[in-house]
Amino acid sequence: MSTDDRPSIACVSGRRVVDVLAGMDVRTVLLGDPTPLDLACLADVPLDVDLGDWKTTEVVLGALHRVRPLTAVFSVFDAHLPLASYLAERLDVRGLSLAAALACDDKARMRLALEGAGITGPRYLAVDDPADAPSAARRLGFPVVVKKAVGARGRGSLVCHDDADVAGAVTAFGGGPVLVESYVDGPEYAIQTITVDGVTEVVNVLAQHVGSGPRQPELGYDYPSGLGEVGDLAVGKFATSALRALGFDNGVAHVQVRVSDDGPVLINVAARPPGGQLCALTERVSGVDMTRAAVDVALGLPLLRQEPTASRALYRCVAFGQAGVVDYDVGALDSPGVFLDVEPGDPVHPADDPRGGSYGRIVVYGDETPQLLRDYHGILDSLRPRVRPSRMW
């Protein structure tokens, strides 16, 4: 295929996806605010635009589209999904439907769409005035989950047990509209999906471990999920129904479901590949690179599939039980499967602190669970992550 015949695709931000696009025979238009120099060098047409100004961005991209038509506009970055879908709709090219993108960004809109389609979710109340949040929580009954209504990007969610907790959550989210939901008790699962022209494929189902603190911090994942084939099919079917209700037509998704005593409950849908090392995990156990899949779906290409290289995976987050400065044995960083986001001497917060969470991941693969556990504990013993008290705390 000659350079002039390459399909042209516009991507709104995203470092990992630019690396994928650079290895494909496509013409890449990269929209950034601004575009990092190293990524601009990988794109055919880097554009520095104000991504908050949708109309101007449409004008700039539309001018390029008239000269060299685009095949698709997409993003794998939460904050820019609505813009990418808006641009795709306005230019009449492939992309995730604007209805689905807006629903994934606006939690109240998501709940309304799911409720209208009969998809089970938590009981909820949308609160425009933050001062009304405590009374909304009392109406639902504690404990509740308070979520930032728009643009949460995976971090705007806190479990609250009383009025003071709710007031603190509202303050932490900047005082804007929130969604107050009943707390759903039960094991959680993460489902990776690919949707092409409205038909959804479940790539895998992972058991998700979460902490007990206000942020319910991510602690790890297991593959297989432990539900068995029938259980995986059931939660996968439930996730697929939820995506259909949201108007999902073309894209990948990371769907979170809890299984209560009454059955599956939809917790959240992120219209993007999973974060952390979950893309790598999915590729190892399923043979599908979810970021590459997002590109293939956007372009309307057949999905690239490889043979899985592992039948089991154990993924654990590096988290801490106290505040201070972190230390660990740096020699262990050479071990396969160790990914840390902090350096010795960096400050950390406990997992149950709203400012805390995961500071790295340890991921091991294999075919036998006992061996996975031995490998994981061997790495952990070599790494020896620890927290030293600091006067700053």
Which two structure tokens, joined as six digits, stand for 358? 């995961």
Residue 3 reports pLDDT greater than 90: no
Cα 96-101-105 angle, rounded to 5 deg = 160
Mean pLDDT of 18-26: 93
Show the CA angle centred on residue 376, arms to residues 375 and 377, nearest 5°. 95
Q: Is 245 left (phi over 0), alpha (psi -120 to 50) or beta?
A: alpha
Tokens of 27: 């013409």
Q: What is the pLDDT of residues 65-107, one digit of tens each?
A: 999 999 999 999 999 999 999 999 999 999 999 999 999 999 9
pLDDT mean over 13-33 = 93
Q: Where in the chain is the domain with CATH 3.90.1170?
A: 313-388
Whether CATH 3.30.1490.20 fits 122-182 = yes
Q: What is the reported pLDDT for 1? A: 41
The pTM score is 0.95
Answer CATH for 188-308 from 3.40.1190.20, 3.30.450.20, 3.30.200.20, 3.30.470.20: 3.30.470.20
- pLDDT-derived band at 393 (thresholds 50, 70, 90) equals low
Contact criterion met (CB below 8 Å) for 157 and 181:
no
Of residues 43, 17, 41, the one with CA closest to residue 30? 43
Largest CA distance in the chain: 64
Query: 305: closest CA among 278, 283, 279, 280?
Result: 283
Query: What pLDDT score does 2 carry?
Result: 43
Residue 316 CA: distances (Å) to CA of 10, 340, 373 = 35, 12, 11
pLDDT at 381: 96
In the chain, which residues fall in CATH 3.40.50.20?
Answer: 3-95
pLDDT-derived band at 276 (thresholds 50, 70, 90) equals confident
Q: Which amino acid is at 33?
A: D
The values of phi and psi at residue 356, to 5°, are -95, -155
* 359-379 residues labelled b (16+ CB within 10 A) or e (exposed): bbbbbbbbeeeeebeebbeeb
Answer yes or no: CATH 3.90.1170 is held by domain 313-388.
yes
In which residue ranges of the chain is CATH 3.30.470.20 found?
188-308
Name the segment(s) of the chain with CATH classification 3.30.1490.20: 122-182
Instruction: Report the SS3 class of residue 190.
Output: strand
Phi, psi angles (nearest 5°) of residue 80: -110, 5
Percent of the chain beyond pLDDT 70? 97
Query: How does pLDDT run across 65-75, given as a tens digit for each residue?
Result: 999 999 999 99
240-267 residue pLDDT tens: 999 999 999 999 999 999 999 999 999 9
pLDDT of 350 > 50? The answer is: yes
Domain 3-95: which CATH class? alpha beta
